[in-house]
Amino acid sequence: MAFISNIKFSATKTAGVQHSWKVTVKYNANFTPYELSTGNFRFKDSFAVWEDDSWPNSDDRVTGEVGGSVFNPTASPTVRTLTYTLTNSERAIADEVFGEELYAVVKLTNIDLNVPYTKKSATLHIDL
């Protein structure tokens, strides 16, 4: 079964746009020899951005599933890079206090078998 490894989550201010952030997730999608040899399995990946809140508060979901695409793997691992620019309303969710701890949850789904795999990134501190 496919799995996710080596997630790198980053955010950069978008040039020329005040308070706009482009978030990037880079990760390795790892596949079994069977998933690669058949060539018939399609995978979809995406990610969601979350705000890491201190206990006892629950984490806030900043985005829905974004930045993804459908692909047929040809190698393992396959390095994937997904990007998304936070909208003003999404940024407002994460901007409740100055300086935020954000993380990404990457989702890799075998479309043909309808089997999702998810993994959380490390937390990233940014000053919104």
Per-residue HEC secondary structure of 8-54 comes to EEEEEECCCCCCCEEEEEEEEEECCHHHHHHCCCCEEEEEEEEECCC
Reading phi first (left if > 0) and then psi (alpha if -120 to 50, else beta), residue 40 is in alpha
pLDDT score for 84? 94
Q: Identify which of 103, 98, 34, 25 has the alpha carbon closest to the alpha carbon of residue 62.
A: 103
Are the C-beta atoms of residues 45 and 107 closer than 8 Å to each other?
Answer: yes
pLDDT more than 90, % of the chain: 55
The per-residue pLDDT for range 62-98, each reduced to its tens digit, is 899 999 899 999 999 999 999 998 877 666 666 554 4
Q: Is the pLDDT of residue 6 over 50?
A: yes
- Decide if 96 contacts 32 (C-beta within 8 A): no
| Rounded average pLDDT over 42-53 | 92
* Distance (Å, whole) CA 15 – CA 96: 23
What DSSP state is assigned to residue 67?
A: E
Give the three-class secondary structure for 92.
Answer: helix
Model pTM greater than 0.85?
A: yes
Helix (H/G/I), strand (E/B), else coil: 90: helix
What is the C-alpha R_g of the chain?
Answer: 16
